[in-house]
Amino acid sequence: MTVYLVGAGPGDPGLLTVRGAEILARADVVVHDRLADASLLALAPAGALRIDVGKRPGESGHQDQIDELLVTHARAGRTVVRLKGGDPFVLGRGGEEVAALRAAGVAVEVVPGVTSAVAVPAYAGIPVTHRGLSTSFTVVTGHSRHAVDVETNWEALAAVGGTLVILMGVVHRGEIAARLLAAGMAPSTPVAGIRWGTRPGQTTVRTTLEGLAAAPLEPPATLVIGSVAALDLGWWEHRPLHGRRVVVTRARDQASTLVAGLRERGAEVVELATIAIADPADGGAALGRAAAGVAGYDWVIFTSTNAVERFCRLLRDGRAFGPARLAAVGSGTADALARHGLVADLVPDRFDTDALLAAFPAPPARGGRVLLPRAEVARPELPVGLRVAGWDVEEVSAYRTVAVRPSPAELAAVAGADAVTFTSSSTVTNFIDAAGRGSLTGAGGAGDGSDRSATVAARPAVVCLGPVTARTAEAAGLTVDAVASPSTIEGLLDAVGLVLARRLHP
């Protein structure tokens, strides 16, 4: 089999190449560095073996052990991905790993990645070349004292000009600055230190070569030295939720839109799924019978995208509905129908049960039938209200929500959160069962070593998708800080942004 050396990029999972994602999707084994983003590891199949071989600060090298691990799994006939930060061949010892694999007779493919030497300065708004300032850039390691004192010709680097990008050099920044100053580089030369580059917690420290030794910097950080370091064309750190940590409690297979929206706004997202979507207890038998006879109903009401997806996959196409009309609670549910080529005949202005009941027509004189496919356990207000209005309502279980027990690491991440989002009553109750109310009454540190741009509040903000979820949270003893209006994912994103902005600038 083949071992694939895949460059993971410097941190932002969006910088993984298409080829890298393709390879990860069919991996049997993923051997990864310490700082590999969890969302990249999730691209591998659920059953893939994931092995962390990243060195911790202060640990000595163990490259021979990594090489042996790769060879062993490859010889066992497994597809092995060696996931490396940045680019495998830019100060990543990728060349050594390829040489060891080839010497052992193992096939290798290298999938280049975006190197931190270019991406990290770009995310800080610093172009490594810029007309009138720099026509070249040099990448050098400052990882060890031997590299600083013996392997690197600082005099030549000072003389060549251009931009100097130093990776893994924060610990030895004082010696590096001294060598460059002794080589004739001006004390006023601009320097930028970018910590946690391309990640949600990225911070940039601006200084000069003379002030570099005393600059408040800690690893992991990239140093940029030269005229371009005075430029500030930044965008990453100016996003509205930059440096904020937000917990998403929705089921993982439903959370992608919310997670993507939060990340686009700059948040660090903790996916703490407290529920999962499963088949109803009867395996979907009742839903199948209802779908087979759907043309015999006057209305079919969908209250969630889950109900839409599970119902529509049982139909040949939209003609199966016959004369039945469709109602959708919420634009997200209506959009799910649209993906199946169906147009909702009724979408209330407000995305809740009361609004649907107020907008729903009276039944015809002959009487009328409503089909309501929804969660196995759901609130009774909608079917009760329809029956009071004179409709014959058939409820059918389309799916179940089952509790998911988060891992201790996931629960620990809540302690440093700025906000926790709830999208349904079940996410509230299951979260409290798993984490306890106390997790939403106080907050600790970030827990990952990253800098946080804003002070963590006394407790995470509680933000709910709609009024029903908010009432469940309040009944459970939580203080609800914001409710999405409208009750859509976009509304929830706006609500998170507003409540955290108020906390930062009361």
Residue 463: partners with Cβ closer than 8 Å, 6 or more residues away: 419, 420, 421, 422, 480, 481, 482, 483, 484, 492, 495, 496, 499
Torsion of CA 63, 152, 202, 94, to 10 degrees: -30
Given 33, 279, 354, 451, the catalytic residue: 33
Given 12, 37, 52, 55, the catalytic residue: 55
Residue 60: partners with Cβ closer than 8 Å, 6 or more residues away: none
Is residue 55 annotated as a catalytic residue, yes or no? yes
φ, ψ for residue 299, nearest 5 deg:
-140, 145
Cβ atoms of residues 4 and 54 within 8 Å? no
Please give the Cα distance from 249 to 159 (Å, whole number).
Answer: 55
Look at the chain and count its residues: 506
Please give the Cα distance from 139 to 152 (Å, whole number).
Answer: 11
- Helix axis angle, 331-339 to 305-312, nearest 10°: 20
Cβ atoms of residues 314 and 287 within 8 Å? yes
Decide: helix, strand or coil at residue 42: coil
Decide: helix, strand or coil at residue 329: coil
Strands (E), 196-255: 203-208, 221-225, 245-248
Strands (E), 312-360: 325-328
Is residue 84 annotated as a catalytic residue, yes or no? no
Which DSSP letter does residue 172 get? Answer: T
Beta strand pairing call for 299-302 and 482-483: unpaired
By annotation, the residues acting in catalysis are 33, 55
